[in-house]
Amino acid sequence: EVQLVQSGAEVKKSGESLKISCQGSGYSFTTSWIAWVRQMPGKGLEWMGIIYPSDSDTRYSPSFQGQVTISADKSISTAYLQWSSLKASDTAMYYCARCGRTDYGMDVWGQGTTVTVSS
C-alpha cells in the first residue's frame, strides 16, 4: 500500500524551532515530488512548496519562501518541514502529499500534523 505517514502533533512556544516529518512507503520515494500544504483552522488549502527527494531540488511558494525549510533524506524515504523560529500564526494543520499526477496533482496524502504555537 502506498502511504505517507506524518509525525505526531506538536505544541510549541513562539520562537522555538520545529521539524516535522513525512515518511513514504509502498513506492519508490525518489521518483515523485513531495509537496507540503498548510491548512489554518477553518481555512482552505495553501501550497507551501515541493521537494524532489532524488536530488533535493526544492521549490517554494513566494508566501513561504524564507519562512520554512523543506528537506528530504532519501535513504529513509522521509521529507521534512522545519521552522527556525515559530510564530503563533504558524498554528495550523500541515499535510504532505505525493505529486503523482500531472502538474503536481497530489494523489497520496499524509494524515496531517497539527502544529500549535502559543505566544
Partner 1 sequence: QSVLTQPPSVSAAPGQKVIISCSGSSSNIGNNYVSWYQQFPGTAPKLLIYDNNKRPSGIPDRFSGSKSGTSATLGITGLQTGDEADYYCGTRDSSLSVVVFGGGTTLTVL
Grid coordinates of 6:
506524518
CA distance 107 to 2: 10
Measured from the CB atom, the residue of 47 and 74 that comes closer to partner 1 is: 47
Measured from the CB atom, the residue of 13 and 107 that comes closer to partner 1 is: 107
Measured from the CB atom, the residue of 87 and 101 that comes closer to partner 1 is: 101
Among 12, 23, 104, 116, binds partner 1 (CB under 8 A): 104
Residue 84's beta-bridge partner residues? none
Per rule CB under 8 A, is residue 116 in the interface with partner 1? no
CA distance 43 to 105: 20
Per rule CB under 8 A, is residue 101 in the interface with partner 1? yes
Residue 83's beta-bridge partner residues? 18
Q: What does the DSSP 8-state code read for residue 53?
A: T
Measured from the CB atom, the residue of 36 and 80 that comes closer to partner 1 is: 36
Per rule CB under 8 A, is residue 102 in the interface with partner 1? yes
| Helix, strand, coil percent values for the chain (each to nearest 5) | 10, 55, 35
Q: Kindly list the residues in this chain that would bind partner 1 in the complex (CB under 8 A).
A: 35, 37, 44-47, 50, 59, 61-62, 95, 97, 101-112
